[in-house]
Amino acid sequence: MVAVSVIVPTYNEGPNVAPLVARLSVLPHIAEIIFVDDSTDDTPAEIERIAAEADVHVQLLHREEATGGLGGAVLCGFDAATSDVCIVMDGDLQHPPEVIPQLIGRYDQGETDVVVASRYAGEGSAAGLAGFTRVAVSRGSTLLTKAMFPRRLYGCSDPMTGFFLVDLKSIDRSLLRPQGFKILLEILARHTLRIAEVSFDFADRNAGESKASLKQGIRFLRQLSSLRFGKMPAFALVGGIGAVVNVFIVWLLTALDVGYLWAAIVGAEITIVGNFLILDRYVFSELKAEAASFWRRFSQSFLFNNTEAIIRIPVMALLVESWHISAALATAATLAVAFIVRFVFHSLVVYRPRPSDRTGRDLKETAAATTPSGVEG
C-alpha cells in the first residue's frame, strides 16, 4: 500500500494535537503528518512539543498570514508533502483517523484520483454537526453545489467534506484559488477526476470551538459563485422572460373575455413548456447527450413545475393571510425559493447523466477548463 502524507490545517487546536498524533501514529502507511497552522494561541508550541516525542515524522508550517483560509493552508501542505498521495483532514478529531486505511485501501484498488470520506454515503453519518440548523445548511449546500456542477460532482455524495485522499499527480495546483474551508470543492470543480468514496461517521468535536460562522458561509457562497457563475444566471434569465410572457398571455386572454382562472392556467402551461424548450436548447445543451431522452426530460420538467406551482400558491396565501406579509413580498419570497428548487431539480434530476455513459465519458474528458462564465459542469 502507498505511503501517504497527512495534511492537517489548524487554527487554535492545541488540545487536539496530542490525541490526533497518537491515533495517527499507530496507523500503517503514514509517511508524515504536516500541520499547517494559522493559530493565534500556543498551538504551534504544542505541535513542536508533540513532534519531538512522536513515533512518526511531524512537520510544522506556521503561517503568519492565513492567505486563502483553510484551503490555502492545504495548498501549502501539498507543496511541502514528500508523497504524491496526500490525505487532508481536520485537526479537531471529527474526522476519525481510523478511516484512513480505508481511504488508502480504496485508492490502491486503482482507477481513482480522489477518495472522499463521505458523511452521506452508505452507513455514513453527520451526527457530529451541532444541531438541526447546521445539518440542514450542510445538506442544502451540498445539493446546491451538486446542482452547480452536475458532471464534475457526479458520483460524489459529499463534495463539502474536509476529509479526503488526493493523488497530486492528477491535479494542476496552479488552477486552484481557495477562498475558505471547501478545498475539496475547489479541486473537484476545476478538474475532471475519477472519484471514489468511503463512508464515515462525522464525530463530535474533541476540544475547542467550531470555526463555522456566518463569515465562512459568505466565503463559501463567494467561492461557489467564482467557480460556477454560468448556468444559474441564464436559468434566472429564462425564468424572468417566462414570467413576462406569462403576464402578457393572461392580459391578452382576459382582454378577449377569457376567464381569469383559465387565462392563468393557459399562461402558466405555455410558459412552462416554453421555458423548458429554451433551457433544453441553450442553458443545458451540453448535458443533453448524457441525460435521459427528450420526452423523459420534458415530462420530468413539466410535472415538477406544475407540482411546484400547486404548492407555491397556497404557501403564498398562507404568508399573506396568517403571517400578514404583503402580497408582493410573499410572491417575491416564494418565487425566490421556487427558483432555487427548480434549478436544483433540473440540474440533478432532469439532466442527470445516465450511469451507463459515465465510464466512456471519463475516458474522453480532459483536464479542467475555465470559461468567462465559470468552470464547466
Ordered per-residue pLDDT tens for the chain, 377 residues: 789 999 999 988 889 999 999 999 999 999 999 999 999 889 999 999 999 999 999 999 999 887 878 888 999 999 999 999 999 998 888 899 999 999 999 999 999 999 999 988 877 776 655 556 666 766 777 777 777 777 777 878 888 888 999 999 999 988 887 766 678 888 988 888 999 999 998 876 545 455 454 555 555 555 555 555 446 677 777 888 888 887 888 888 888 888 777 877 888 889 899 989 988 887 777 678 778 889 999 999 999 988 988 887 788 778 778 887 776 677 677 777 888 888 888 877 888 877 654 444 443 333 333 333 455 55
Sign, CA torsion 343/345/350/355? positive
Residues 246, 278 share a domain: yes
| pLDDT at 22 (0 to 100) | 95
Closest CA to 348 of 154, 193, 212, 195: 154
Residues 167, 67 share a domain: yes
pTM: 0.61
| pLDDT at 179 (0 to 100) | 66
Residues 350, 237 share a domain: yes
Provide the domain count of the chain: 2
DSSP state of 95: S
Q: Report residue 160 CA to chain centroid gap.
A: 5
Domain extent, residue 122, equals 4-227
Residue 18 backbone dihedrals phi, psi, to 5 degrees: -60, -50
Domain boundary (197, 227, 257) is at: 227
Give the CATH number of the domain where residue 120 resides. Answer: 3.90.550.10
Residues 299, 152 share a domain: no
- C-alpha cell, 373: 462564465
Name residues whose C-beta falls within 8 Å of residue 91's C-beta, 6 or more positions apart in sequence.
8, 9, 10, 13, 16, 17, 20, 35
Residues 20, 108 share a domain: yes
The Cα-based distances of 191 to 72, 73, 196, 222, 279 in angstroms read 18, 20, 15, 19, 25
Domain boundary (194, 212, 227) is at: 227
Residues 287, 190 share a domain: no
Domain boundary (185, 203, 227) is at: 227
What are the beta bridge partners of residue 58? 33
Residue with grid cell 457530529, as numbered in its chain: 128
Q: What is the DSSP string of 214-237?
A: HHHHHHHHHHHHHHB-SHHHHHHH
Closest CA to 83 of 191, 2, 184: 2
| pLDDT at 358 (0 to 100) | 46
Residues 261, 195 share a domain: no
CA distance 191 to 202: 26
Residues 344, 217 share a domain: no
Residues 317, 245 share a domain: yes
Closest CA to 129 of 193, 212, 46, 61: 212
Determine the number of helices (DSSP H) and then strands (DSSP E) in the chain. 12, 9
**Residue at 159: amino acid letter:** P
Q: How many CA atoms lie within 13 A of 165 on its CB side?
A: 29
Number of Cβ atoms within 10 Å of the Cβ of 281: 10
The Cα-based distances of 309 to 210, 329, 335, 364 in angstroms read 39, 17, 10, 40
Residues 150, 182 share a domain: yes
- What is the side-by-side strand order in the sheet with 85-88? 58-62, 30-37, 4-10, 85-88, 164-167, 114-118, 195-199
DSSP state of 361: H
